Amino acid sequence: MKTGKLIRELRLKKGLTQEELAQMTELSTRTIQRIENGEVDPRAYTLQIIAKALEVDFSMFVDSGTEESKENLEFKNNNFLALLHLSGVLPLFFPTVILWKLKKDKTKDSYNHFRAVIILQLILLCICVVSIWIYWKVNQPIPLFGGLVAGGLLSIINTMRVFNGESYINPLLKMFKKDS
């Protein structure tokens, strides 16, 4: 079933008019009409606010799309998640946080990827602090460079793995795994 037809069916089951749904979602009535008639393919964010208004799971709309649109959405998500992992190359938290904030609600499993990148950055920061102390005490820069290179390589490897749709390497494995 096409997304627009599914939205129309769910709206009617809830007893809502197009105008009421438009008001609940802060979209125009014309946009709702165009979506339901199949004239436009709504973006993921639009589908999320419609799903919230209709009190259904967002995945219901994604699953109802064509295989091509699912693959396209998955490709875009992989690109974003790969970029998120690439932001972990250096222990600078603000690019990672900004990237995550931009798409945290639009990308599946973004929280787990974000958490893995932040953990890696914290590890790199600790390595830097310890390595600077070692450099200060014994004038040996190798731990600093070695730690930065190892952390950077792990970020790049994770970036490539996520971009290819594989699972990423969690820096602390299951130590901080969220209980389900």
The more confident residue out of 73 and 107 is 107
The more confident residue out of 172 and 129 is 129
Taking the CB of residue 140, how many other CB atoms lie within 10 A of it? 11
Q: What mean pLDDT do residues 54-74 have?
A: 63
Tell whether the model's pLDDT for residue 177 goes beyond 60.
no
Q: What mean pLDDT do residues 129-155 have?
A: 79
Predicted pLDDT at 65:
45
Predicted pLDDT at 74:
54
- Highest-confidence range of 29-43, 52-66, 92-106, 143-157, by mean pLDDT? 29-43
Alpha-carbon distances, residue 81 vs 7, 33, 57, 159, 173 (angstroms): 29, 33, 22, 8, 18
Q: φ and ψ at 36, to 5 degrees?
A: -65, -30
The more confident residue out of 76 and 156 is 156
Tell whether the model's pLDDT for residue 154 goes beyond 60.
yes
Domains of the chain by range and CATH? Answer: 3-65 (1.10.260.40), 68-163 (no CATH)
Q: What mean pLDDT do residues 99-108 have?
A: 69
Of 60, 63, 54, which is closest to residue 27 (Cα–Cα)? Answer: 54
Tell whether the model's pLDDT for residue 68 goes beyond 50.
no
